[in-house]
Amino acid sequence: MKREEISSSTTRRPLYERLDWNLFRVFSVIVHEESITKAATRLCVTQSAVSQSLRRFEEQIGCKLMVRNGNNLSLTSVGEKIYNISMSIYEEVRKIEEATENNVISVTGRVKISMISGFRSHDYDTFLGDFHRKYPNVSLDIEICSASEVIMATIQKRSSLGIGLIKSGYKNIEYKILLPQRYAFYCSSRHRLFGRTDLVIEDILREDFVAFTADQIGFPLSSIAFFRDSRGFTGRIVASSPNVYEIKRLINAGIGIGCLPDHIAQFDVDSGNLWKLPPNEGIVDANIVMLWNNKAQKSSAEQIFIEELKRSFVT
């Protein structure tokens, strides 16, 4: 079909029906760039395609929109009016994005989180609140378990994600640090070493010990056990728990010395209930991470939760 025939057959329909709305975008880029070639670069098409788009747009509108004066393009008076209209359209289209953002209420589903005890983070609490306000139809199911169980639940895809400790690279498991933390030895005010500033590591080697269930060899906190073994600790393990608050309770009870993350122990140290033991610089780093299985099929609720949690922790 020749161009004249296209023109005569399409002009019967009203302009708003035959208009190619995409051409508004191309037109506005040409005006911004003041060049068809630069507009082509920005739109990732060839100059030829942009030139043809402008010609089609002018055909559809029925008016010359731009004129060439030497090497520069300028708008005709009609072109300026159309440009103003295209800017208004652009603003309206941007509102579509806002409208869809507010429609996230439609996301439903369940997110199961396996996590260790004692993850204290204001940022995480804020994230949970924000997430719920944004996706009120997504329910959260939180299970507290040991660090090794967090990893197993993630590997076996029983949980959407885990929050815990990770020792090394597990196949298909990705992770991101949420909270850097360091473990150190502590004793309570009931313990005979409490308040002693002259202590060296040899003074604590024979002390009874409260251990994490997760510090067996091969699991995330095994570096604590490795540290005890390599430094010649001979004290008995008198109690153990996977829960950091139970460990703290046992230490507070004076049953033995034990390892705690500095940020968990700090409040009790400040209030005079716990005393930090040597080595003063702590013994191991055990960063709290979020971990997920990149081979697991995830619902949209799970995907969104993981992506937004990753985004909200910039470490």
Q: How far is the CB of 1 from DNA (least distance, A)?
A: 4
Q: How far is the CB of 99 from DNA (least distance, A)?
A: 25
Residues binding DNA: number (CB under 7 A)? 25
One residue of 7, 8, 37, 126 binding DNA per CB under 7 A:
37
Taking the CB of residue 202, how many other CB atoms lie within 10 A of it? Answer: 10
DSSP three-state, residue 235: coil
- Give me 132's structure tokens: 């719920």
**Helices and strands in the chain: count of H runs, count of E runs:** 12, 13
Closer CB to DNA, 9 or 280, in the complex: 9
Would you count residue 47 as binding DNA (CB under 7 A)?
yes
DSSP one-letter string for 96-139: HHHHHHTTGGG--EEEEEEE-TT---HHHHHHHHHHHHH-TTEE
Closer CB to DNA, 13 or 132, in the complex: 13
Closer CB to DNA, 26 or 178, in the complex: 26
Closer CB to DNA, 53 or 293, in the complex: 53
Sites for DNA among residues 61-100 (CB under 7 A): 68-73
Name the residue among 123, 315, 288 with its Cα closest to residue 214: 288
Would you count residue 29 as binding DNA (CB under 7 A)?
no
Would you count residue 48 as binding DNA (CB under 7 A)?
yes
Closer CB to DNA, 52 or 300, in the complex: 52
Alpha-carbon gap, residue 50 to 45, rounded angstroms:
7
Name every residue whose Cβ is closer than 8 Å to that of residue 79 and which is 6 or more positions away in sequence: 31, 63, 64, 65, 66
Would you count residue 20 as binding DNA (CB under 7 A)?
yes
- Give me 220's structure tokens: 């995330």
> Which segment (49-57, 117-125, 182-190, 240-248) binds DNA by CB under 7 A?
49-57
Q: How far is the CB of 28 from DNA (least distance, A)?
A: 15
Name the residue among 33, 54, 51 with its Cα closest to residue 42: 33
Would you count residue 169 as binding DNA (CB under 7 A)?
no
| Sites of contact with DNA (CB under 7 A) | 1, 6, 20, 22, 35-38, 45-49, 51-56, 68-73
